[in-house]
A and B are shown apart, each in its own frame.
Chain A
Amino acid sequence: MTDGLIAGYFREGAPIQDTKAPSGPIEQRWSTRRFDAHLVNPANRRKLSVIIVGTGLAGASAGATLGEAGYQVKSFCYQDSPRRAHSIAAQGGINAAKNYKEDGDSVFRLFYDTVKGGDYRSRESNVYRLAEVSARIIDQCVAQGVPFAREYGGLLDNRSFGGVQVSRTFYARGQTGQQLLIGAYQALERQIAAGTVEMFTRHEMLELIVVDGRARGIVVRDMVTGEIETHLADAVVLASGGYGNVFYLSTNAMGCNVTATWRAHRKGAYFGNPCYTQIHPTCIPVSGDHQSKLTLMSESLRNDGRIWVPKDSADKDKDPRLIPEEDRDYYLERIYPSFGNLVPRDIASRAAKYQCDAGKGVGPGGLGVYLDFADAIKRMGRAAVEAKYGNLFDMYAQITGEDPYETPMRIYPAVHYVMGGLWVDYDLESNIPGLFVAGEANFSDHGANRLGASALMQGLADGYFVLPNTIREYLSHGPYPQVAADAPAVVEAQTAVKERVRHFLSCNGTRTVDSFHKELGKIMWDYCGMERTEQGLTHAIEQIRALKKEFWSNLKVLGTGDGINQSLEKAGRVADLIELGELMCIDALHRRESCGGHFRAESQTEDGEALRHDDEFAYVAAWEWGGDDAPPILHKEDLVYEFVEMKQRSYK
């Protein structure tokens, strides 16, 4: 250690704390906080403005709700319509503690499952609140016309997801995210018509404006005209989704990116647990070099499908239907008899990797395991399977050219979700006053691993119920002083954006943006993916630094900046993903324990399960941007468990 530099990669700063969560009985904290938040008189709301970046479940629901309350909202998305945010792609379902099945579910159990599922790396107060508001989300969505699956009696149906033993997941066939988002989108459009929300589609946020220490606006590029615009407000909300695309191949949409949150990070917002990544066990395997994204097969399939590989690696190229029962290894059912195929995602993913590493993987390149519905079809009949999973089976057939009703699906893990994101307190406010962060973009509720069907719950909890209450407290102290269009902070942000655009267009190198993105993705997948080691991570950091250098000197972006230019858009995103990739590796390197989705090979139990070190690492790692030429600074927020006892997770 020299000059305070730890392991050569970062410095440690002062510890931080969430100062907003009330203390006392956990079931009263949220009502206490809501009661303590000042009210804003309806007549004053019109004078208060909020910028919301993102129209996914979190952003659209927050926009609609704040609009209904009478605030002036400006909403932004990069797609051509708010309805296309990537929440649309969520398949499986949304959790809520309704206990409609009388199977022992409760707010406390959902809270407990989520804390345990997150491997004891999330905040109790936040998670309890999430469980508490979950039931109202379902009420709200049903009232909006979300067509959830129903039973013949007309009541709502439920199913189970990984990591739990109750049925609390509400769903709309395999299109739950779509239906929830359309509900939120319609509510948002209603406010647009009412004039409370102004919508900016095909606008990409490229910079945050911070004035006198407060978030006061953003700089965006109109992706159709190329114009660089400034938008100012009393508060800024980032609901810009996850950054799984740092791995190039992921189940995220092509445009998912980290730019909104990364620009805020560079302006001082702390980044929480960037290395916590969720690798989803059931995705369609890669088919070739041309691959642009990976497709998820919903976790709900694990309710009825059975996962296996041949016992003997010599059988891996055989027609699976010809492999007799006794030659198959249903390895999840064997190793985890009480949860079987429904173990949490991190465990299922790693187990698949180990089978493939042992040479038993099936399909091209040996990177696949079977997900077999033969038993389910025998038990329930083909029609019932079709009713439950029809669209997923069709999608699989479309992509692979194989019929999953006839032969087992082949699946392999893929990057799917990031638990990491901007650090926020109980109010969802970052350490920059007036900058709020909601949905997948924040780090808040899932600890080191998210349970299935909990991201939709969190997005809507944040947007419909949490943020509108907590931002009210901030806004009640406004309106904040008017910011002049030529204020130094505004000019600085504008200039920075223009300079970046100019650089990309005039760099005149030889490599395309995609080639850099692919290279970054490969580094991240190889060294910061399902299994991480000290050696691999240090190697990755060196590689990423070299890549960054080359990116800034050898990039080729054709065309101009004053119209649609998709390579230019990507260049900005990849530039930020590269910097994020480095921070993810540093975070993964510094966390010398395994927890949830973060698996350090050096820290495992005798039988290969993740081994936490609570004495050393029971904290949130909140990273401060150190500067372009200086290392990042780590601030630790200690995690305290008052209501749930920390245990090593066991799903056996």
Chain B
Amino acid sequence: MKITLEIWRQAGPGTAGKMVTYTQDDVSPDMSFLEMLDVLNEQLQERGEEPVAFDSDCREGICGMCGLVINGQAHGPQVTTTCQLHMRSFKDGDRITIEPWRADAFPVLKDLVVDRSAFDRIIQAGGFISVNTGAAPEAHAAPVQKAKADRAFDAATCIGCGACVAACPNAAAMLFLGAKVTHLGELPQGQPERDARVVKMLTQHDHEGFGGCTNVGACADACPKEIPLDVISQLNTDLRRSMARGN
């Protein structure tokens, strides 16, 4: 296939960037999207041009390191991560625009690489269960209803990629937040800190410069792990309950 690419190039943090056009003449439908960029980068280097910087690591849709806005969509046209997107989703002659995540809380570091450390700080604020190593009771001491365990698991599959933020017109991180609050809140082990957790994490979220949620739902549409919108309802419920108890 022949593909034309328009890629955001930016030399470093805080510098101006621009879209640059490249063509790719020999794209195989079996290539992953990032392999297509690998090939481009090899060609650029052979021509003496600096390769395009982009993040990826596992390349199997689980580490959350990759993330590009492709033709205006976070992670592109399929419900999957950028690294799991394959060129068979495109056709000969396509023009593809590639941009980094855009959000105040995710500043661009270079080309398509952004800084997502705000997510880690949200977790630091309360996205955990406080149990020191060695202090755990026997695992079977507290059975967990399968339905609850499954819902906790589904929420826990969030990979922290940030597509929800990139897709949201308000650049809110509520899906990410809701996923963690739901994961820990569904489990008996997560109850003691449940009220405090939601307030602390939300405070950090706002502090990082993420926007507010206006129920657009673009986050859930973009989420490669199909984290459902109802985790945001759970977040709101937990928040109301926590406030009612004076947190």
| Min C-beta distance of B11 to chain A, whole Å | 8
* Binary contact track A154-178/B, C-beta < 8 Å → 1, others 0: 1110000000000000001101011
Partner of A143 from the list B39, B78, B116, B189 (CB cut-off 8 Å) is: B189
Say yes or no: B113 contacts A83, CB within 8 Å.
no
In the complex, the answer to whether A186 meets B129 with C-beta atoms within 8 Å is: yes
B84 at the interface (CB under 8 A from A): yes
Distance of B68 from chain A, by nearest CB (Å): 15
Task: Assess whether B5 is interfacial by the CB under 8 Å rule.
Answer: no
Residues A172 and B153 in contact, CB atoms below 8 Å apart: yes
The residue on B at minimum CB distance from A515 is B42
Complex Cα–Cα for A182 and B153 (A): 12
B32, B38, B116, B153: which contacts A147 (Cβ < 8 A)? B153
Q: How far is the CB of B38 from chain A (nearest CB, A)?
A: 6
3 tightest Cβ-Cβ pairs between the two chains A and B: A154-B143, A143-B136, A186-B128
In contact, A292 and B32 (Cβ under 8 angstroms): yes
Partner of B117, one of A80, A147, A185, A254: A80
Given A68-B133, A154-B143, A182-B156, 16 new contacts (CB under 8 A): A79-B65, A81-B64, A81-B119, A83-B64, A88-B62, A89-B58, A143-B135, A143-B189, A145-B190, A154-B146, A253-B58, A254-B58, A293-B59, A399-B86, A401-B30, A564-B53
Q: Give complex CA distance A193, B126 in Å.
A: 9
Question: A64 touches which one: B12, B28, B133 (CB < 8 A)?
Answer: B133
Question: B76 → chain A, closest Cβ, in Å?
Answer: 12
Any B CB within 8 A of the CB of A395: yes
- Could you tell me the dominant secondary structure of chain B's interface residues? loop
Footprint of B on A, CB under 8 Å? 61, 64-65, 68, 79-84, 86, 88-89, 98, 100, 136, 138-145, 147-156, 172-173, 175, 177-179, 182, 185-187, 189-190, 192-193, 199, 201, 224, 253-255, 287-288, 290-293, 295-296, 395, 398-399, 401, 464-465, 468, 512, 514-515, 556, 558-559, 563-567
Q: Are B62 and A89 in contact (CB under 8 A)?
A: yes
Query: How many angstroms from the CA of A287 to the CA of B133 in the assembled complex?
Result: 44
Residue pair A567, B124 in contact (C-beta under 8 Å): no
Known contacts A254-B57, A399-B86, A567-B51; A154/B144 CB under 8 A: yes
Chain B residues near A154 (CB, 8 Å)? 143-146, 149
- Provide the residues of chain B in CB contact with A152, threshold 8 Å: 146
A431 to chain B, nearest CB (A): 28
Are B119 and A399 in touch, CB under 8 angstroms?
no
* Given A65-B133, A288-B28, residue A558 in contact with residue B128 (CB < 8 A): no
In the assembled complex, the CB of B33 is this many whole angstroms from the nearest CB of chain A, namely 11
B132 in the interface (beta carbon within 8 A) = yes
Partner of B28, one of A173, A193, A290: A290
Does residue B157 face the partner (Cβ distance < 8 Å to A)?
A: yes
Give the CA-CA distance A500 to B61 in the complex, in Å: 33
Pick the most buried of B45, B86, B190: most chain A CB atoms within 10 A of its CB: B45
Q: Taking A84-B64, A145-B189, A187-B128 as contacts, is the C-beta distance between A150 and B146 under 8 angstroms? A: yes
In the bound complex, what is the Cα–Cα distance between A154 and B84 (angstroms)? 34
Contact residues in B for A136 (Cβ distance below 8 Å): 134, 136
Q: List 16 A-B contacts (CB under 8 A).
A: A84-B58, A98-B139, A143-B129, A144-B189, A150-B143, A153-B143, A186-B123, A186-B129, A193-B124, A201-B120, A287-B28, A291-B35, A295-B60, A401-B29, A559-B50, A565-B53
**Cβ of B184 < 8 Å from any Cβ of A?**
yes
Complex alpha-carbon distance, A410 and B129, angstroms: 41
Nearest CB on B from A149, distance (A):
8
